[in-house]
Each structure stands twice: as structure tokens, then as C-alpha cells.
Amino acid sequence: MKSAPFDYVRPESVAEASALLAQDGVTTAAIAGGQSLIPMLSLRAAQADLLVDVSRLDELKAVRETPQALHIGALTTHAAIEDGKIPDPFNGLMRRVASTISYRAVRNHGTIGGSVALADPAADWPGCLMALGATVHIAGPGGTRQQPVVDFVKGLYETTLASGEIVIGFDVPRPTSPLCWGFAKVVRKSGAFANSIAIVVAPGKGGPITAVLSAAGPRPIALANAARALGNGAMSDDTLRTAIAADLKADLPGADAYEQRLHTATVLRAAREMQATS
């Protein structure tokens, strides 16, 4: 459980970090909280020649509110979100999600930017930010760019981040009326990697509904049929189950009988919680 040797550098600016990460012939990795990367290095599931510590870069810590959106700096920790240390225009959804991530000692250091950049299929933030329609801000050797989180996360530990690029933060659109949401997660024990995570959100009464299922496939899945059924006011379990089954058939064709029951249960629970608050 000891990492192979690597070098370590703590740059003073995003530009410097980006140049260090983009070096040719060197396997580099950005480290922020390190709560996933360090155990992966220790287990030798990941290897790096050079760790670039971005955890003290102020540009990645900014949290700003505008009338349209909340900007959340990439270095914002799960614990800061859990404790309400950043504004919460989402009616408690992000606080609830944060409070269920791993354990408090891990939440004190793990960051939202690191979670999305790693794109672990069992992670909470990629699916949550997809459900909220968030955009990721990225800085790299070629300047800055923005991309919807739904397009940024491509698959198992795979994003569109190119060599030398760093996640700066996220713009999460402010709901037009109080957000109605439901969140359900199944884990074998509190804080363990999730087996299924469902988030259903409606930006106010009658708003367009989004349903996202995580920890089921290589990346979070938007459930179009379930969202449509909920938008049409579907209340009966049978109608919802049929819609969820259609989504699972289309997006998760390899799911066995247990997985189908599991994911159907989390989506139903999230949908019921959302309906109870709307």
C-alpha cells in the first residue's frame, strides 16, 4: 500500500500548472484533495511520474453568485457544500448529496472539481451537476473553454479533458422557482461506493423534469422516458415502472434482474421524494 515513487510540484498559477501538466514524455496528474488519487496511487491502480498540486490555486477556489447562476470553484470541498458554506439556490439538493459522499474525513478534502474530473462511475457530482444543467469551466494551454457537464463526462473515468487542461469550476444555473428534487442512493454501507444513485429535479412547479441515474453504467444516464412520464403527471407506480423499464432497456441493456430492480427502486424513491416536495 505504498505508492511507487513520483515527483511533486506545487505551481503558483493556473498557467504554470497547465504547462507542467502538458509536458511531453512525462505521465502527469493534477492533485487537489487527493482523496481518490492517493489511494489509487497507493494501490498502484494509477501511476504518475509527476504530481502537480493545484490545491492552493486561488482561481480554483472562487465561489460567485450571479442572477443567472452560481459559480462553484473546483476546489470547493464536499464538506463545505454539506455545511452550507457556499450559497444554496438548489433548495438543499447539493447539501444532501454532499452529506452522503464517503466519510467526513474524506469530505473535508475531496473536491467537486476532482470528483467530476476523475469521472468515477459511482461518483455523486457528475450526475448531480448533469441533472442541474451545469457547465464546466476549463483552463488549458490553449486558453479557457466551457462545456456542459453532460458532454464533458464521456465514460468510465473518461472526460474531454486534454493534456494540460484543468477544471476551474462550474456554473450551475439558478432555478427560476424553488427547486423540487428527490435523491435516492443505495450503498452496501454508509459512505461506501454507490451501487445506484437517482436524482430527479424539477425547477419549480410544472418545470421540465430531469431524471439522472448514476453508478449504473460507465457514466450517468439521463432517463428520458421516466422524466417524460413524471412531466405528464404520472403518479401510479405501474406507469413509472414501465417508463423506467424502457429507459433501462435503452440505456442499460446489460442490466440483470437484480440491477433492474435496484435502479428501478432508486428512481422510484427519488421520484416520490420530488413529488412530495412539489
Partner 1 sequence: MKITLTLNGSKVTHDVEPRETLADFVRDRCGLTATHLGCEHGACGACTVVLDGEVTRACLMLAVMCDGRTVETLEGFRNHPAMEVIRKHFHECHGLQCGFCTPGMLLMARDILARKPGCDADTVRYELSGQICRCTGYSGIVKSIVSAGQELAGKAPAKA
Closest approach of partner 1 to the CB of residue 153, in Å: 23
Using CB under 8 A, pick the residue from 102, 239, 260, 278 that binds partner 1: 102
188 binds partner 1 (CB under 8 A): no
Using CB under 8 A, pick the residue from 26, 105, 235, 250 that binds partner 1: 105
* b/e per residue 134-145 (b: at least 16 CB within 10 A): bbbbbbbeeeee
Closest approach of partner 1 to the CB of residue 80, in Å: 10
Reduced DSSP (H G I as helix, E B as strand, rest coil) percent helix, strand, coil of the chain, to 5: 35, 25, 40
User: Closer CB to partner 1, residue 102 or residue 147?
Assistant: 102
Using CB under 8 A, pick the residue from 89, 173, 178, 191 that binds partner 1: 191
Q: Is the dihedral of CA 217, 32, 175, 178 positive or negative?
A: positive
42 binds partner 1 (CB under 8 A): yes
- Starting at the earlier edge strand, list the strands of the sheet with 135-140: 63-65, 69-73, 166-173, 135-140, 143-148
Strand-pair partners of 243: none
Using CB under 8 A, pick the residue from 2, 143, 176, 254 that binds partner 1: 2
**Count of residues engaged in binding partner 1, rule: CB under 8 A:** 31
39 binds partner 1 (CB under 8 A): yes
3 binds partner 1 (CB under 8 A): yes
First to last CA, the chain: 48
174 close to 68: Cβ distance less than 8 angstroms: yes
Q: What is the DSSP letter of 240?
A: H
Distance CA 249, CA 268 (A): 16
User: Closer CB to partner 1, residue 65 or residue 193?
Assistant: 193
| DSSP notation for 128-179 | HHHHTT-EEEEEETTEEEEEEHHHHEEETTEESPPTT-EEEEEEEEPPSSPP
Stretch that binds partner 1, among 101-109, 117-125, 148-156, 259-267 (CB under 8 A): 101-109
Using CB under 8 A, pick the residue from 66, 68, 190, 236 that binds partner 1: 190
278 binds partner 1 (CB under 8 A): no
Residues of this chain that interact with partner 1 (CB under 8 A) are 1-8, 10, 31, 34-35, 38-39, 41-43, 51, 53, 55, 79, 102-106, 108-109, 189-191
